[in-house]
Amino acid sequence: METITFAWLLVILTATSPAVKAKYYSGSHIIDVPTTMKETHLHFFMHDILSGNNPFSVLVAKPKNTVVKEGNVGPFGAVYVFDDPLTEGPDPKSKVIGNARGLYASVSRGSDATLLFNGDLEFTSGEFNGSSISVVSRDPLVLVKEVAVVGGRGKFRMAKGFSLINAVFVNITSGDAILEWHVTLFHQ
């Protein structure tokens, strides 16, 4: 009986659909927001390597008539795309536990070199294999800084948090850097 009703409903909907104006939104309804969230801390190292024949970060655009000096993030407006390995330890040969993929752009017109970091950091091993965090944040080129975690996927759904970032290695000639991340997350 229910099946028949459902079938009729489908027929009616199909028949009337051309006349129905499409909407880009659904009706709003009250939801129960979970009152408990999980807190998770992550600790890993990101290898942002621009030098060599197989760089992890590449310049893809810059304003006309500007030059990128070696070891400089480039003029205001320069854009880089990166696919950086994440490892357990600071040594590039230590165990890879994920990758950071995204883009960063040089967004300061002043002498305070600043990037906008826009990346998805996905983990490829352990408890959070396949889960990721989304980072969208101002990223000043200083040795110690904080970036905002604005979301996540998988086990990190609805994540909010921040990461303290500490540069453990910087080559000012090539721009290569190894960055230590200490992430604090609240998620479902």
Work out how close the CB of 171 gets to ligand NAG at its nearest, in angstroms, rounded to a whole number. 4
Work out how close the CB of 145 gets to ligand NAG at its nearest, in angstroms, rounded to a whole number. 22
Pairing of strands 160-170, 177-187: antiparallel
Closer of 71 and 77 to ligand NAG (Cβ): 71
Work out how close the CB of 178 gets to ligand NAG at its nearest, in angstroms, rounded to a whole number. 10
- The secondary structure of 28-51 as a DSSP string is P------S--EEEEEEEEEEE--S
The footprint of ligand NAG on residues 59-88 (CB under 6 A) is none
d(CA 33, CA 35): 6
Write each residue from 128 to 147 as x if it is in contact with ligand NAG (CB under 6 A), else as -, in one continuous string: -xx-----------------
Work out how close the CB of 157 gets to ligand NAG at its nearest, in angstroms, rounded to a whole number. 17
Q: Which of 108, 134, 166, 174 binds ligand NAG (CB under 6 A)?
A: 174
Closer of 10 and 168 to ligand NAG (Cβ): 168
Q: How many residues bind ligand NAG (CB under 6 A)?
A: 8
CA angle 35, 137, 112 (to 5 degrees): 145
168 binds ligand NAG (CB under 6 A): no
CB 126 within 8 A of CB 101: no
Backbone angles phi, psi at 154, to 5 degrees: 65, -130
Stretch that binds ligand NAG, among 2-10, 101-109, 132-140, 166-174 (CB under 6 A): 166-174
111 binds ligand NAG (CB under 6 A): no
Q: 55-60, long-range: CB within 8 Å, 24+ apart, which pairs? A: 56/82, 56/83, 56/84, 56/85, 57/81, 57/82, 57/83, 57/84, 58/82, 60/103
CB 130 within 8 A of CB 123: yes
- Mapped onto helix, strand or coil, the DSSP state of residue 187 is strand
125 binds ligand NAG (CB under 6 A): yes
Backbone angles phi, psi at 38, to 5 degrees: -95, 150
58 binds ligand NAG (CB under 6 A): no
- Give the interface with ligand NAG as residue ranges (CB under 6 A): 51, 124-125, 129-130, 171, 173-174
